[in-house]
Structure 1
Amino acid sequence: MIRYALPALLLASVLPCYAQSPATDVPLIERARIFGNPSKTGAKLSPDGKWLSWIAPRDGVLNVWVAPAGDLAKARPLTDEKTRPLRGSFWSPDSRHVLFIQDKGGDENFLLYGVEVASGKQTNYTPFEKTRAAVLHISSKIKDRILVGLNNRDPRWHDVYSLELATGKLTLVQKNEGYGGFLADDQLKLRIAEKPRSDGGTSYFRISDGKIESTPLAEVGLDDSQTTAPAAFTVDGGTLYWIDSRNRNTAALVAQDVASGKTTVLAEDGRTDISNGLFDPRTGRVQAYSVDYLKQEYIPLSDDLKADLAFLKQNTKGKFSVTSRTEADDKWLVAVDPVTAPASTWLYERKAKKLTQLFVSRPELEGAPLVAMHPQEIKARDGLTLVSYLTLPKSVDAAGSGKASKPAPLVLLVHGGPWARDGYGYNGYHQWLANRGYAVLSVNYRGSTGFGKNFISAGDLQWGRKMHDDLLDAVDWAVKQGVTTADQVAIMGGSYGGYAALAGVAFTPTTFACGVDIVGPSNLFTLLQTIPPYWEAGKQQFYKRMGDPTTEAGQALLKERSPLNYAANIQRPLLIGQGANDPRVNVRESEQIVDAMAAKHIPVTYVVFPDEGHGFARPVNNIAFNAVTENFLAQCLKGRAEPIGGALKASTAQVKHGAEFAPGLAEALQ
Structure 2
Amino acid sequence: MTGLPFARRRTGALLAFAASLAVAAAITPVMAAPVPIESFAKFEAINNVTISPDGKHVAAIVSAPNQKWPVISVWDASDLAKPPVWIPSATNRITGVGFFGNDKILFRAEQEITRGDGRLSFTVKTYMADIDGKNIIEPFKTGGRSEANTVGDAASVWLSNLYDEDKVIIRKPGEGAWEYYELSRKTGATRLVAKDSEKWEFVAAGVNLTTAEPLIRQAVDVREGGKFYLITQIKNPATGMWVDHPQLGYVLEERVDLAILGYDTDTNKLFVRTNRGRDKSAIYSYDITAKAFSEEPLFANDKYNIMAIGLKQNYAEKKLDSVSAIYLGGPAEIQVFLDEKWAAVQKQVKAAFPGKNVTFRVNRGDDKAVVAVDAVDYPTDYYIYQNGALTKMGNERPWIDPKSLGKGEFVTYKARDGLDIPAIVTYPPEWTPAKGPVPLVVLPHGGPWARDEMSWDGSGWPQFLATRGIAVIQPQYRGSEGWGDKLWKAGDREWGQKMSDDNDDAAAFMVTKGVADPKRTAIFGYSYGGFAAIAASVRPNSPYRCAIAGAGVSSLERLGSFWGGNHIQRDVQGHTVKGMDPLKNVGNANIPILLYHGDRDRQADTDHSRMFFKAMKAAGKDVQYVEIKDMWHTLPWRPEWHTQSLTLIENYLKSDKCGLL
Q: What TM-score, normalized to structure 1?
A: 0.83
1:158 aligns with 2:178: yes
Tell me the amino acid that sits aligned with residue 506 of structure 1.
V
Looking at structure 1, the residues matched to 304 and 218 of structure 2 have their Cα atoms a distance apart, in angstroms, of 25
Query: Which residue matches 1:35?
Result: 41
Equivalent residue, structure 2, for 1:168: 188
Number of residue equivalences: 600
Alpha carbons of 1:339 and 1:22: their partners in 2 closer, same or farther (altered >3 Å)?
closer
Q: Does 1:582 align with 2:601?
A: yes
**One-letter amino acid matched to 1:543:** G
SS at match of 1:168: coil
Q: Deviations over 1:336-365 (max 9, x none)?
A: 00433322001123xx53222121111101
User: What amino acid is aligned across from residue 252 of structure 1 in structure 2?
Assistant: A
1:376 is aligned to 411
Aligned to 2:651: 631
The one-letter code sitting in structure 1 at the alignment partner of 2:201 is: G
Corresponding residue of 2:17: none
Return closer, same or farther for 1:47/1:435 CA change in 2, 3 Å cut-off: same
The answer to whether the 8 A contact 1:281-1:326 is kept is: no
1:185 aligns with 2:217: no
Match of 2:130 in 1: 116
Residue 454 of structure 2: aligned partner: 424
**Distance change in 2, residues 1:367/1:422 (3 Å):** closer
Partner of 2:164: 142
Report Cα offsets for 1:608-658 as digits up to 9, x if no partner: 123122146112111111111111112245454xxxxxxxxxxxxxxxxxx
Q: CA–CA distance in 1 between the matches of 2:100 and 2:159?
A: 11
Q: Which of 464, 470, 475 is matched with 2:507 structurally?
A: 475
User: Aligned AA for 1:170?
Assistant: T
Letter in 1 for 2:77: A
Q: Are the equivalent residues in 2 in contact too, given 1:244–1:254 (CA < 8 A)?
A: yes
CA 258–163 in structure 1, closer or farther in 2 if over 3 Å, else same: same
- Which of 314, 329, 338 aligns to 1:292? It is 329
For the structure 1 residues 340 and 536, does the alpha-carbon distance in structure 2 shift closer, same or farther, using more than 3 Å as the test? closer
Identify which range, 614-623 or 193-202, moves more after superposition: 193-202
Deviations 1:575-632, CA, capped at 9 Å, x for gaps: 1111112221111101101111122332322111231221461121111111111111
Is the counterpart of residue 89 in structure 1 residue 89 in structure 2?
A: no
Contact 1:317–1:337 under 8 Å retained in 2: no
2:58/2:75 contact within 8 Å kept: yes
Q: What is the CA–CA distance in structure 1 between the aligned matches of 2:106 and 2:194, rounded to whole Å?
A: 26
Distance 1:311 1:82 in 2: 44
Task: Give the structure 2 partner of residue 205 of structure 1.
Answer: 233
Kindly report which structure 2 residues correspond to 1:439-458, keeping only aligned pairs within 5 A, or say none: 439-458=471-490
Q: Is 2:303 the counterpart of 1:271?
A: yes
Deviation at 1:430, TM superposition (A): 1.1
Partner SS, residue 334 of structure 1: strand
| Closer/same/farther in 2, CA of residues 113 and 235 from structure 1, 3 Å limit | farther
Kindly tell me: are residues 510 and 247 of structure 1, through their superposed partners in 2, closer, same or farther at Cα, counting changes over 3 Å?
A: closer
Distance 2:575 2:609 in 1: 25
Q: CA deviation at 1:69?
A: 1.6
Farther off after superposition, 296-305 or 494-503: 296-305
Equivalent in the alignment of 1:104: 112
Counterpart of 1:5? none
CA displacement, residues 500-548 of structure 1 (integer Å, 9 cap, x when unaligned): 000001113632111110111100111226658x63222322332114x
- Cα separation, 1, equivalents of 2:37 and 2:72: 24
Deviation, structure 1 residue 493? 0.6
Instruction: Tell me what 1:244 maps to.
Output: 274
Higher RCO (C-alpha 8 Å, min separation 6) = 1
Give the TM-score normalised by the residue count of structure 2.
Answer: 0.84
Which segment drifts farther, 38-47 or 607-616?
607-616
The answer as to 2:583 corresponding to 1:564 is yes
Task: From the superposition, tell whether residues 294 and 505 of structure 1 become closer, same or farther in structure 2 (CA, over 3 Å).
Answer: same
> In the TM superposition, what is the alpha-carbon distance from 1:43 to its structure 2 partner?
0.5
Residue 592 of structure 1, aligned match among 611, 625, 630: 611
Query: RMSD across aligned C-alpha pairs, in angstroms?
Result: 2.8
Q: Compare 612-621 and 234-243 and name the one that shifted more.
A: 234-243
What's the counterpart of residue 361 of structure 1? 396
Task: Name which of 560, 564, 577 aligns with 1:546.
Answer: 577
**SS where residue 33 of structure 1 aligns?**
helix
Question: By how many angstroms is 1:200 displaced?
Answer: 5.8
Once residues 200 and 101 of structure 1 are traced to their aligned partners in structure 2, the CA distance between those partners, rounded to angstroms, is: 38
Q: State which of 371, 375, 380 in structure 2 corresponds to 1:334.
A: 371
State the identity as a percent.
Answer: 24
The aligned amino acid for 2:209 is D
Gapped regions of structure 2 (runs ≥ 5): 4-8, 11-27, 114-119, 149-153, 315-319
Post-superposition CA distance 1:23-49 (Å, at most 9, x none):
44x332111112211111221001111
Q: Is the 8 A contact 1:200 1:225 kept in 2?
A: no
- Aligned residue in 1 for 2:15: none
Which residues of 2 match residues 252-263 of structure 1 at below 5 A? 252-256=282-286, 263=294
Amino acid in the other structure paired with 2:400: L
Are 2:372 and 2:380, in contact at CA under 8 Å, matched by a contact in 1? yes
Measure the CA separation in 1 of the matches of 2:195 and 2:438: 58
User: Contact conserved, 2:235 with 2:243, CA < 8 A, in 1?
Assistant: no
Hey, what does 2:56 align to over in structure 1? 50
CA distance 1:621–1:304, change in 2 (3 Å): same
Do the aligned partners of 1:52 and 1:68 also contact (CA within 8 Å) in 2?
yes
SS in 2 for 1:414: coil
Corresponding position: 1:77 with 2:86:
yes
In 2, Cα distance between equivalents of 1:270 and 1:381: 25
1:536 lines up with 2:567 in the alignment: yes
Contact 2:104–2:185 (CA<8 Å) still a contact in 1? no
Alignment of 1:221 with 2:240, yes or no, is no
Residues 79 and 258 (structure 1), Cα distance of their counterparts in 2 relative to 1, 3 Å cut:
farther
What does residue 344 of structure 2 align with?
307
Cα contact 1:414–1:493 (8 A) shared by 2: yes
Change (3 A) 1:404 1:614: farther
How far is 1:425 from its partner? 1.4
Q: Which runs of 5+ in 1 are unaligned?
A: 3-7, 10-20, 398-402, 548-556, 641-670
What secondary structure is seen at the aligned counterpart in 2 of 1:591?
A: helix
How far, CA to CA, are the matches of 2:243 and 2:181 in structure 1?
Answer: 22
Equivalent residue, structure 2, for 1:463: 495
- Distance in 2 (alpha carbons) for counterparts of 1:89 and 1:232: 24
Question: Shift of the alpha carbon at 1:215?
Answer: 2.3
